Amino acid sequence: AQSVTQLDSQVPVFEEAPVELRCNYSSSVSVYLFWYVQYPNQGLQLLLKYLSGSTLVKGINGFEAEFNKSQTSFHLRKPSVHISDTAEYFCAVSEVDSSYKLIFGSGTRLLVRP
Amino acid sequence: ETGVTQSPTHLIKTRGQQVTLRCSSQSGHNTVSWYQQALGQGPQFIFQYYREEENGRGNFPPRFSGLQFPNYSSELNVNALELDDSALYLCASSPTTNTEAFFGQGTRLTVV
């Protein structure tokens, strides 16, 4: 069975500092990988996705993530955060052969301080 | 282009009652998925509907049921509500079954 582990429940960081949100997954089959962001009282917005090809994926709002198959990781990074990046971030996986179902991690709250 | 819309936005129900949540998919999308997000947790897959048929189901009891209409809008029905059903219910639509999912803003259900 698949599972997703987000190692940090909360990450505090100062504005303009770099940040990395960690995500590890477990699966016996090939997967697609996603990062979603959730602002307060809103649904989920897709930041970026890895389907195949280059392991470095660039997304919206200056975020990027790197797929590491040997480490089964898909960490999210941003070189310089803004106050407006404060939100909940979810890593998710889906099996390539049954990609209708997303398995989410428990989320990481990014708190950007001035 | 209209995105995914859900109604109502908030709802309070009593334990044992039944509830129906509604979702209008994004224009051109024929697939709708439902997720339950308990407080402080990630969303959990309930089921997916493709062209009015259930296309996959997560680990939820039969009292969670759904429907998709010819215009691809969808309903989530929950019978015999329990306190643990209190959560944010998210609907997501996709152009087909295995492509990017676009989420609505959710319905916050509180069971008292």
Chain A contact set for B94 (CB, 8 A): 100
Note the pLDDT tens digit of each residue in B87-102.
999 999 988 766 788 9
Mean of per-residue pLDDT scores for chain A: 93
Output the CA torsion sign for A49, A53, A55, A56: negative
Note the pLDDT tens digit of each residue in A57-110.
999 999 999 999 999 999 999 999 999 999 999 999 988 877 678 999 999 999
Q: Which burial class, exposed, middle or buried, applies to B60 when counting CB atoms under 10 A from its CB (0-12, 13-18, 19+)?
A: middle
Q: How far is A84 from chain B (nearest CA, A)?
A: 19
Q: Report the chain B residue with the minimal C-alpha distance to residue A90.
A: B42
Q: Is B39 on the interface with A (CB under 8 A)?
A: no
Chain A contact set for B98 (CB, 8 A): 94, 98-100
